[in-house]
Structure 1
Amino acid sequence: MSFANVIRTARTASLSVVLRPAAAHCVRLSHNQAPTSSAPSDVAPKISTSSSTTEKREEIRTDWDVRIISYEEFLPKTQDSSTERSIIIDVREPAEVAEGIIPSAIHIPLATVDDALKLQPAEFLERYGVAKPQSDDEIVFYCRSGRRSTLASDVAKGQGYTNILNYKGSWFDWTEKQNTNS
Structure 2
Amino acid sequence: MITAVTQSGSRASLLTAHRVPYCVTAHHGSASWNGNKLRFYSTEKPATIDYQGIQTLIKDKNAEYYLIDVREPNELLQGAIPTAKNIPLSQFMTAWSMSEEDFEDTFGYEKPSPNANIIVYCQAGIRSSRAASYLGELGYKGVQNYIGSWADYAEQSKSKA
Q: Same fold (TM over 0.5)?
A: yes
Matched, 1:92 2:71: yes
Which is greater in Rg? 1
More helix by share: 1
Per-residue CA deviations over 1:88-147 (Å, capped at 9, x if unaligned) read 110111111111111111111111111111211122222222211000101100000000
> Within 2, Cα distance between the matches of 1:116 and 1:159?
12
Name the stretch that deviates more: 119-128 or 90-99.
119-128
Matched letter for residue 75 of structure 1: Q
Counterpart of 1:37? none
Note the residue ranges of structure 1 that are not aligned, 5 or more in a row.
1-59
Correspondent of 1:163 among 142, 146, 152: 142
Correspondent of 1:130 among 109, 125, 136: 109
Matched, 1:140 2:148: no
More strand by share: 2
> Within 1, Cα distance between the matches of 2:86 and 2:156?
21
Counterpart of 2:96? 117
Per-residue CA deviations over 1:153-174 (Å, capped at 9, x if unaligned) read 1111121111100000001100
Counterpart of 2:159? 180
Matched letter for residue 160 of structure 1: G
Correspondent of 2:51 among 49, 68, 71: 71
Per-residue CA deviations over 1:45-99 (Å, capped at 9, x if unaligned) read xxxxxxxxxxxxxxx7x7124211110011122334x524310110111111111
> Within 1, Cα distance between the matches of 2:156 and 2:127?
20
Note the residue ranges of structure 2 that are not aligned, 5 or more in a row.
1-40
SS of the residue aligned with 1:95? helix
SS of the residue aligned with 2:94? helix
Counterpart of 1:12? none
SS of the residue aligned with 1:98? helix
RMSD of aligned Cα (Å): 1.8
Matched letter for residue 93 of structure 1: E
> Within 2, Cα distance between the matches of 1:119 and 1:64?
25
> Within 1, Cα distance between the matches of 2:126 and 2:47?
14
Identity between Structure 1 and Structure 2 (%)? 31
Dislocated runs of 4+, deviation >3 Å? none
CA contact (8 A) 1:79 1:104 kept: no
Count of aligned pairs between the two proteins: 122
